[in-house]
Amino acid sequence: MNTSTPRPPATALLILAYLAFVSLGLPDAVLGVAWPSLRDTFQLPQALLGAPLAVGAATYFFSGLLAGKLITRVGIGLLLAASTALVSAGVLGFAAAPAFFVILLVTPFMGFGSGAIDAALNTYAARNFSPRHMSWLHAAYALGATTGPAIMTSVLSRGASWRVGYAVVGFSLAALALAFTVAKRRWDAGQPATEVVVDAPGNVGPVQQDSPPVGTWSALRSGRVWLQIAIFFFYTGIEVSAGQWSYTILKEGRGLSAPAAGTWVAVYWGGLLAGRLVLGFVVERVGTVRMLRLAMLGALLSAAFFAIPGLSFGAIALPLLSFSLASIYPGLMAETPRRVGEQTAPHAVGFQVSAATLGVAVLPSLAGIASERFGLDAIGPVIAFCALMIFILHERLVAIADTKA
Q: Which of 1-5, 51-55, 311-315, 336-340 is the least confident region? A: 1-5
Neighbours of 158 (CB within 10 A): 8
**What is the per-residue pLDDT for 4?**
42
Residues spanned by CATH 1.20.1250.20 within the chain?
11-186, 218-403
> pLDDT-derived band of residue 191, with 50, 70 and 90 as boundaries?
low
Euclidean distance between CA atoms 299 and 238, whole angstroms? 9
Alpha helices in 26-99 (DSSP H): 30-42, 50-74, 76-96
- 244-261 pLDDT, tens digit each: 788 888 888 888 887 888
For 191, other C-beta atoms within 10 Å of its C-beta total 13
Q: What is the pLDDT of residues 126-179, one digit of tens each?
A: 878 888 888 888 888 888 877 888 888 889 889 999 999 999 999 999 999 998
Does the pLDDT of residue 189 top 70, yes or no?
no
pLDDT at 72: 80
What is the average pLDDT score of the chain? 83
Q: Read off the pTM.
A: 0.74
Q: Read off the pLDDT band of 321 (50, 70, 90).
A: very high
Q: Residues 210-223: pLDDT tens digits?
A: 445 555 566 666 77
With pLDDT > 90 as the criterion, what percentage of the chain qualifies?
26
- Of the candidates 317, 312, 313, 309, the one whose C-alpha atom is nearest the C-alpha of residue 255 is 312
Query: Going by C-beta distance under 8 Å and a sequence separation of 6 or more, which residues neighbour residue 74?
Result: 82
Separation between Cα atoms, residue 208 and residue 198, nearest integer Å: 11
What is the model's pLDDT at position 352? 87
Fold for 11-186, please state it.
Answer: Growth Hormone; Chain: A; (1.20.1250)
> At residue 10, does pLDDT exceed 70?
no
| CATH architecture of the domain with residue range 218-403 | Up-down Bundle (1.20)
Torsion sign, CA atoms 13, 17, 20, 22: negative
Predicted confidence at residue 381, as pLDDT, reads 93
Residue 273: strand, helix, or coil: helix
- How far is the C-alpha of 377 from the C-alpha of 252, rounded, in Å? 10
pLDDT tens-digit series, residues 70-116: 888 888 889 889 999 999 999 999 999 999 999 999 999 999 998 88
Closest CA to 192 of 381, 49, 4: 4
**Which of the pair, 71 or 195, is modelled with greater confidence?**
71
User: In 280-327, where does DSSP find H-type helix?
Assistant: 283-286, 288-306, 317-325
Provide the residue type at 105 as one letter: L
Query: Residues 349-404: pLDDT tens digits?
Result: 888 888 888 888 888 888 888 888 898 889 899 999 999 999 999 999 888 865 55
Given a cut of 80, whether residue 283 has pLDDT beyond it is: yes
